Structure 1
Amino acid sequence: MREISPKEVEKKLEEGTILHIIDVRETEEVAEGKIPGAVNIPLGLVEFRKQDLDQSKEYIVVCRSGGRSGKATEYLEGQGYQVINMTGGMLAWEGKTE
């Protein structure tokens, strides 16, 4: 499983890199703040929403601490998607939120 640190994600966003971020936390967790531009697909719905994702794009998967995003990353990798798990999750995120 490929991984990326919150600092690396923040740096890429500051540089203007277009990132495709999936936040797999529950809706009420995301309401407290998410990485700008992240799309919320709760972990329990990833299997049913995977067809909404483009297999030609690379996705960064985020959760609260890195556990759920790790599970989602492994699942999506197994389905042929290009995914990277953000280690430490939103607990480690120091960048802007929306």
Structure 2
Amino acid sequence: MFSIFNPIKSVSTEELAEALQRNSKLLDVRTPGEYRSGHIRKSINLPLNKVSDYKDDSKPVYIICQSGMRSKKAAKVLRKKGIEAINVRGGMNQWRGKQVTAQ
């Protein structure tokens, strides 16, 4: 179990790539327009202003944004709800893997 007094756990984009190979859940908290312009396959777009509506606490969730700032805020919100949330440092700016775009 994690404590709300511990700092938010963060991982690199390389560590995220490894986690995604294990079918980990990834929330992209950027705006829908940012998400459509390029996102990680199987990520779920949930803009920062809607993060408090997130309900699934069945496993840890990784959170990404453009630079890592919004995702860290989102991780704090989710952790207050008892969800194990892991911030992705550097966000999409650091992601070197494949991206998909919405048509």
TM-score normalised per structure 1 = 0.90
Partner of 1:34: 39
- Does the CA contact (< 8 Å) of 1:56 and 1:82 recur in 2? no
User: What is the deviation of 1:19?
Assistant: 1.2
Could you tell me which runs of 5 or more consecutive residues in structure 1 were left unpaired when the two chains were aligned: none
Partner of 2:3: none
Structure 1 vs Structure 2 CA RMSD: 1.0
Q: Does 1:50 align with 2:54?
A: yes
Which among 1, 5, 9 is matched to residue 2 of structure 1?
9
One-letter amino acid of the counterpart of residue 82, structure 1: E
Q: Which stretches of structure 1, 4 residues or more, deviate above 4 A after TM superposition?
A: none
**Whole-Å Cα distance in 2 between the matches of residues 35 and 56 of structure 1?**
21
Q: Secondary structure at the match of 1:31?
A: helix
The sequence identity of aligned pairs, in percent, is 35
- Does the CA contact (< 8 Å) of 1:64 and 1:89 recur in 2? yes
**Whole-Å Cα distance in 2 between the matches of residues 11 and 95 of structure 1?**
11
One-letter amino acid of the counterpart of residue 19, structure 2: K
Q: How many residues align?
A: 93
Could you tell me which runs of 5 or more consecutive residues in structure 2 were left unpaired when the two chains were aligned: 1-7
Partner of 1:12: 19
